[in-house]
Structure 1
């Protein structure tokens, strides 16, 4: 009798311990809707935005339909197409090569001209004739000549400003009157004076009186550049030497003589202190930069030719290779 009661007590205790576990499991299980509630269909995300074709006749039912698989392969161009930039890139090396070849010819011309001028400058000086033909001056450029006459300081002209060793000044141009009057006058570039010596009253020793003999070179003066202002002969202001204009103003021949002197340091210092115009030595000072121009133009032609070759012969990308292989389908 005692054994039966013990078994009944154990069974009740086991059922009591299982009730909380079943309650915990029920909390985690989804609640089932009641049969009376209305079931809503689940929303489905469309796989494609393409509208579904109506049920019925399909494209393949058309006897004229051709599938893309049956079409012959077509080679397409991939990447960026060459535009007007390629044409410009092709013109640049050709133009640079032409300019370089032109500079080669200019170098030969300038070398020959310098050789002729150096040959003229080493010859003994010639007496300047009373009348000089202006058309013959280019054939006698850098030819040493000498002339005797009297300086017309009342017709002196200052050309400038001109720089010399970092100091500002002017070129002194004075007509030289020879025997025969105004018909024999020529323009003489006596040299450079400092700006503070521009006034004739400050350089009386630089105004020789009486008859003098001038030795110099027959030259064509320098030309004005884009930034040089125009001369004002009515006010005796000259920014560049215009031989025709100066000759007309002073009644001289359109002949330009550059007075020369031997380079002597102590004499140069004395001239600068007294305001005597400092003339140039007898030497050829023609610039010859054509070799640099040749290297520049030919180098540009070579560089742009290489660039053009790399652009045209650029290997195709992997996409282009795959597209080209389609022709064997």
Structure 2
């Protein structure tokens, strides 16, 4: 019987470690769901005035209400949505009534409407402050000459349009119809893969126990 002890202990302790990792991922899942619920609550809270010096960490997703005029120039960011398919986000300079210039993400237009005229308009916008991180190793370089952007880089866009590095993503636009459909901030882009990781760890634990049982079974067979 002694020869079974070591493989049995390895099997049991290995499975226990894998199960513990699965339980930890479930705990992380509860934590992430709480964070997402908090963010979602903040996104739809009552809007406030634009802070004088917004902070990318403290003021991310802050709901604000701003009034001003869109600029004559826009930056078109290629996106894909479930309802529209290929589309472009329209980001423009937004000159507030008090003279401040910020970035405004008005929303999206279908790809075929990319070059449609969108003259300056005086608008009141309810939206959220955002500093999106949309760059990864697969993101192409922006083609500024053709006005094809592939990520909303607030600092780069602000330099391009001569504004503060502050972006408001519209949730509601009050004023003339500018032909753009708001695409508000939400939590869809925030990864929450903990349930999948938990299932993987539990699956590995089951495989580990199965392999241990198979090994012990083979060890128990009489030698021919």
TM category, shorter: 0.7 to 0.9
Deviating beyond 4 angstroms after TM superposition, the runs of 4 or more aligned structure 1 residues are 89-99, 281-284
Cα 1:91–1:195 change in 2 (3 A) is: farther
Counterpart check, 1:132 vs 2:53: yes
Q: Could you list the per-position Cα deviations for residues 45-102 of structure 1 after superposition, in whole angstroms to 9, with x for gaps in the alignment?
A: xxxxxxxxxxxxxxxxxxxxxxxxxxxxxxxxxxxxxxxxxx9x99986885575355
Partner-residue secondary structure (3-state), 1:117: helix
Cα 1:91–1:279 change in 2 (3 A) is: farther
The residue that corresponds to 1:276 in the other structure is 179
Give the alignment's TM-score, normalised by structure 1: 0.54
Q: Could you list the per-position Cα deviations for residues 97-129 of structure 1 after superposition, in whole angstroms to 9, with x for gaps in the alignment?
A: 575355335323312212222332343110113
1:79-94 aligned within 5 A: none
Q: More displaced, 305-314 or 111-120?
A: 305-314
The residue that corresponds to 2:112 in the other structure is 196
User: Of the two structures, which has the highest relative contact order with CA contacts closer than 8 Å and spacing of 6 or more?
Assistant: 2
Counterpart check, 1:169 vs 2:90: no
Cα 1:235–1:92 change in 2 (3 A) is: farther
The residue that corresponds to 1:240 in the other structure is 151
The residue that corresponds to 2:201 in the other structure is 297
Counterpart check, 1:178 vs 2:96: yes
Q: Could you list the per-position Cα deviations for residues 270-293 of structure 1 after superposition, in whole angstroms to 9, with x for gaps in the alignment?
A: x7xxx7111135755445442233
Q: Which has the larger radius of gyration?
A: 1
d(CA) in 1 for partners of 2:57, 2:150: 23
Give the alignment's TM-score, normalised by structure 2: 0.76
The residue that corresponds to 2:6 in the other structure is none
Cα 1:122–1:195 change in 2 (3 A) is: closer
Q: Is the 8 A contact 1:99 1:297 kept in 2?
A: yes
The residue that corresponds to 2:61 in the other structure is 142
Listed as ranges, the gaps of 5+ residues in structure 1 are 1-86, 263-270, 321-329
Q: More displaced, 236-245 or 299-308?
A: 299-308
Q: Is the 8 A contact 2:64 2:129 kept in 1?
A: yes
Structure with higher strand content: 2
Residue 255 of structure 1: which of 154, 160, 166 is its match? Answer: 166
d(CA) in 2 for partners of 1:231, 1:99: 41
The residue that corresponds to 2:26 in the other structure is 104
Alignment coverage as a number of residue pairs: 212
